[in-house]
Amino acid sequence: MSHFTTIKVQIKNGEILHKTLQELGYTVETNTNVRGYQGIKTKAEYVIRQNNGYDLGFRRQGDNYELVADFWGAKIDQTKFINDISQKYAHYTLMEEVEKQGFNIEEEETLEDGTLRVVVGRWV
């Protein structure tokens, strides 16, 4: 019996996801198994190993990625984990799009509530 749970996340770009996970301090393995209850495994494109034997993985599902893990054993704060990744991922996605469209970062600051404020501009 599998104990894996999947959570859909608004992440489409695997390269940015990988960069995000590394920036947040995680060591990431690619295209390997996520370990769960009683050694049960499932495949994922990006896997964060945990010392307790319960890994966290991201696998492609259609156009998006989903988080897959045995959360009972993983013992993480799911909401904080997903929020941290989502915020950093959104920042990297924004920076990539800003650059593609020829904008420059004029100002960037983190507000007291943790919100990131970015001002962009370009000369025309």
3-state secondary structure of 86: helix
Q: What is the pLDDT of residue 116?
A: 83
| CA angle, residues 61, 64, 70, in degrees to nearest 5 | 60
- Categorise residue 94: left if φ over 0, alpha if ψ from -120 to 50, beta otherwise: alpha
Q: Cα(6)–Cα(86) distance, rounded to whole angstroms? A: 16
Q: Which residue stretches of the chain have pLDDT < 50?
A: 1
Q: What is the pLDDT of residue 42?
A: 96
Confidence (pTM) = 0.86
Q: What is the mean pLDDT of the chain?
A: 93
The amino acid at 113: D
What ranges do the domains of the chain cover?
Answer: 5-121
Q: What is the pLDDT of residue 2?
A: 60
